[in-house]
Amino acid sequence: MTTPVVRPHSPYFSSGPCAKRPGWTPQALADAVLGQSHRGKPGKARLAEVIDRTRAVLQVPAEYRIGIVPASDTGAVEMALWSLLGARPVDMLTWESFGSEWVTDVVKQLKLPDARTLKAGYGALPDLAQVNKDHDIVFTWNGTTAGVRVPNADWIADDRSGLTICDATSAAFAMDLPWPKLDVTTFSWQKVLGGEGGHGMIILSPRAVERLETYVPAWPLPKIFRLTKGGKLIEGIFKGETINTPSMLCVEDYRDALIWAEGVGGLPGLIARSEANLAALAAWVARTDWVDFLADVPETRSCTSICLKIIDPWFTGLAADAQAEVPKRIAARLEKEKIAFDINGYRDAPPGLRIWGGATVETADLEALTPWLDWAYAHVKAELAVAA
């Protein structure tokens, strides 16, 4: 097959950490508050600023609290699970790797006796109609490792008595999150805005705050999970007084990404960029006979972590270990050519490709990538056919 001529300007299609915003250079961090305490006036002001900018870009209601917390999205989710669950039964929704991790936390670590797991395999969603509005609900809005997102929040009852805890790390800034349906929302900086890792965000509704102030879990809480003191919310966390020491370089990088987001039209602009990226890959999939989306239902296909399966009869006829080798070789070949980095599917997912389509990725780069995908697949197929 003829080698394509046009190369992506940026070869970064990793699903986390994700591509930096277009035009980013280290100079973007020149104004970082360094060499002084994050608890001093300049540091607290910068932390409060990124909280305020987050609220504005994500269109978070004024009555919701937004806090910067330790340990990325994982820390934010586990803070919510350990602090809030146990007051009533809980429905755990899982259809990919990270959702399964939260099931492990709740069932095997917290050992909640009233935990119910609603599970689907990679590429599908569980039956959302089975969710009980009187239970707490834990779910990922977008399954990063499966490329499957919930199409909307219509399945969440407005008159629910339970809380919804939503891991939105690969959905925030790329998908429309309906705040009245969400009581706890978590994400990390290194996903859709391409920030640096190590920090998480937690957004609490008034209903979540009420639970925190009226319910005491039966288990001890580590310091990094504590959101209350003396039965009252620690309000400082939601004003930039972080639980532990943050990296002010990472804070500055997130601030830079938020300013860029404002410049491309805020949330509507970010969503439009991600959806355009999905559309570009969808157009290629429609005209390509060897590949398809892992998510069968179009409305559930992620516009950020876009997961693809190989449907060529030659591939499906291979043994399982040989199937796993195909996307691995495609990814390695494209990485060697500096065309695309980190596009092999997630280790626990069915063999395939995973291509990030978040807002920091330019649609033109995805359009330039697709001929290279065809090129790499043709070469790998030929190599393995000869080896057989």
226 vs 202: CA distance, rounded Å: 13
Closest Cα partner for 357 from 347, 367, 371? 367
What confidence score (pLDDT) does residue 385 get?
A: 83
User: pLDDT tens, 304-343?
Assistant: 999 999 999 999 999 999 999 999 999 999 999 999 999 9
What confidence score (pLDDT) does residue 147 get?
A: 98
Our CA angle for 285, 142, 334, nearest 5°, is: 45
315 vs 323: CA distance, rounded Å: 6
Handedness of CA 278, 280, 283, 285 (dihedral sign): negative
By three-state DSSP, how is residue 169 classified?
coil
Domains along the chain with CATH numbers: 27-262 (3.40.640.10), 266-387 (3.90.1150.10)
Is residue 255 very low, low, confident or very high in pLDDT (cuts 50, 70, 90)?
A: very high
What confidence score (pLDDT) does residue 388 get?
A: 65
H-helix or E-strand containing 201? strand 199-204
Predicted TM-score (pTM) of this structure: 0.97
Asked whether residue 126 carries a pLDDT value surpassing 90, the answer given is: yes
User: pLDDT tens, 71-90?
Assistant: 999 999 999 999 999 999 99
- Over the chain, what is the mean pLDDT? 97
Asked whether residue 213 carries a pLDDT value surpassing 80, the answer given is: yes
Asked whether residue 1 carries a pLDDT value surpassing 80, the answer given is: no
Give the residue ranges of DSSP H helices in the chain.
Answer: 41-58, 72-84, 97-104, 206-214, 248-263, 266-286, 313-316, 320-336, 363-387
Closest Cα partner for 98 from 127, 68, 78? 78
- Give the mean model confidence (pLDDT) for residues 235-250: 97
* Alpha-carbon torsion angle 233, 236, 238, 240, nearest 10: -160
Question: If you write DSSP's letter for every residue of 352-370 in order, what string do you get?
Answer: EEEEE--TTS-HHHHHHHH
What confidence score (pLDDT) does residue 165 get?
A: 98
113 vs 268: CA distance, rounded Å: 42
The pair of structure tokens assigned to 122 is 């990679």
- Give the mean model confidence (pLDDT) for residues 11-39: 97
The secondary structure of residue 39, as a DSSP letter, is: T
- How far from 274 is each of 176, 256, 285, 325, 364, CA to CA, in Å? 12, 19, 17, 29, 12
Asked whether residue 128 carries a pLDDT value surpassing 80, the answer given is: yes
Residue with tokens 């779910």: 139
Percent of the chain past pLDDT 70, that is, above it, reads 100
The secondary structure of residue 256, as a DSSP letter, is: H
User: pLDDT tens, 214-233?
Assistant: 999 999 999 999 999 999 99
